Amino acid sequence: MPFKFSNAATATLSSSITSTTTSITVATGLGSLFPSLSAGESFQAVLVDSSNNVEIVSVTSRSADVMTVVRAQEGSAARSFSSGSRFEMRLTSAALTNFVQLDGAQTISGQKTFSQTIIGNLQGNVTGNLTGNVTGNVTGNLTGNAATASLATTASSCSGNSATVTNGVYTVGDQTIGGSKTFTGAVSVNNNLMVGSTANSYLVMRDDESPGGIKYIHANSNLIGFLGGSGNWIMNVDEAGNVTGVGNVTAYSDERLKTNWRDLPADFLDQLANLKMGIYDRKDNGETQVGVGAQGLQRFLPQAVREGVDGFLSVAYGNAAMAACVVLARELRELKKKVGA
């Protein structure tokens, strides 16, 4: 129960009281010298008669000049007091004990409740249990050995400055989170997310709908991709943009997704035969490759050529090659008819 204080609060009794009286009235107007009390608050006072007999009382409420008291406090005896006896607010042993005190080892002992904001630096070793609800803001630095401390409370009862604490995760500066952690909501990462060492890094994803359920995005030796259950690459992309996979590369080609069919240009094969093709060296990375010229193909089959955001052209080789194969197959069929084969 918090104690309240006021300076030079002294009055006299307006009427006599017995040893069991719990409602004491002081001289008119002098009650205002004493603290106003809210629920749960109190102050210590003393009754003094003409023979200097003293009784300590605890005042639990005050209405103007009328005090509600608990008698015979701090080892004093309840007694009768006549009208005019002194009623004074004094600093008693119980009031002083209510203050947080350090022992010889500079240690705060016993259970303490802090109901307001804690501001400053908390430094040293936390070797006990922190129990209860943290209901205010903790600003400053918390330093020392936290390994032996435990916070016996729930996340719902810990509230405060959301700018530095978000659901118990400290969000300022470089932090290391040890042990296994489970995140049940979305995890947004604004920088690099690395699980593992710098040279051998993994981001592990779980797909509970598939047997085994573990997939990896793996970055190592300038490659990023997926590892199979045996730890071998099943697909990767290197720093030059080359894609390698152990399976087939497919794209949607279902006729139910297509309409407005047209034939290729009548002179498609003639133009295809004149298309620039062969082995060449790349200017950007120095690699030697084989292929065709996108600009030439674009002139008669623009649907197989795409322009990237950087302005460079790329070729859908599979689409163009498959269409060309069908045209060649039809030409071959017609030639076979003509020669009677």
Residue pLDDT, tens place only, 125-161: 656 665 555 555 556 665 555 545 454 444 444 444 4
Tell me, yes or no, whether 262 and 324 share the same domain.
yes
User: What's the pLDDT at 11?
Assistant: 96
Could you tell me which residue, 189 or 289, shows the higher pLDDT? 289
User: What's the pLDDT at 73?
Assistant: 95
Tell me, yes or no, whether 19 and 53 share the same domain.
yes
Largest CA distance in the chain: 144
In a domain, 162, yes or no: yes
Please give the Cα distance from 282 to 248 (Å, whole number): 26
Environment class of 177 (CB within 10 Å of its CB; exposed 0-12, middle 13-18, buried 19+): exposed
Tell me, yes or no, whether 16 and 93 share the same domain.
yes
- Cβ 216 vs Cβ 226: under 8 Å: yes
Residue pLDDT, tens place only, 60-106: 999 999 999 999 999 999 999 999 999 999 988 888 877 777 777 77
Tell me, yes or no, whether 77 and 22 share the same domain.
yes
In a domain, 52, yes or no: yes
In a domain, 182, yes or no: no
Per-range mean pLDDT, top range of 1-5, 99-103, 201-205, 212-216:
1-5
User: For residue 175, what are its two tokens?
Assistant: 């932090």
User: What's the pLDDT at 156?
Assistant: 44
In a domain, 189, yes or no: no
Positions of E strands within 193-315: 195-196, 201-206, 214-220, 223-227, 233-238, 243-245, 277-281, 288-292, 305-307, 313-315
Tell me, yes or no, whether 73 and 150 share the same domain.
no
Tell me, yes or no, whether 28 and 77 share the same domain.
yes
Could you tell me which residue, 253 or 137, shows the higher pLDDT? 253
In a domain, 236, yes or no: yes
In a domain, 188, yes or no: no
Residue 211 pLDDT class (50, 70, 90 cuts):
very low
Tell me, yes or no, whether 296 and 238 share the same domain.
no
> In terms of residue numbers, what domain contains 227?
195-245
> Domain ends where: 97, 129, 157?
97
Identify the three-state secondary structure at position 297: helix
Of 49-53, 226-230, 246-250, where does mean pLDDT reach its minimum? 226-230
User: What's the pLDDT at 157?
Assistant: 44
Span 107-128, mean pLDDT?
A: 65
Tell me, yes or no, whether 331 and 263 share the same domain.
yes
Of 69-73, 119-123, 299-303, where does mean pLDDT reach its minimum? 119-123
**Over the chain, what is the mean pLDDT?**
80
Tell me, yes or no, whether 294 and 216 share the same domain.
no
Question: What is the tally of structural domains in the chain?
Answer: 4
In a domain, 49, yes or no: yes
In a domain, 59, yes or no: yes
Tell me, yes or no, whether 305 and 323 share the same domain.
yes
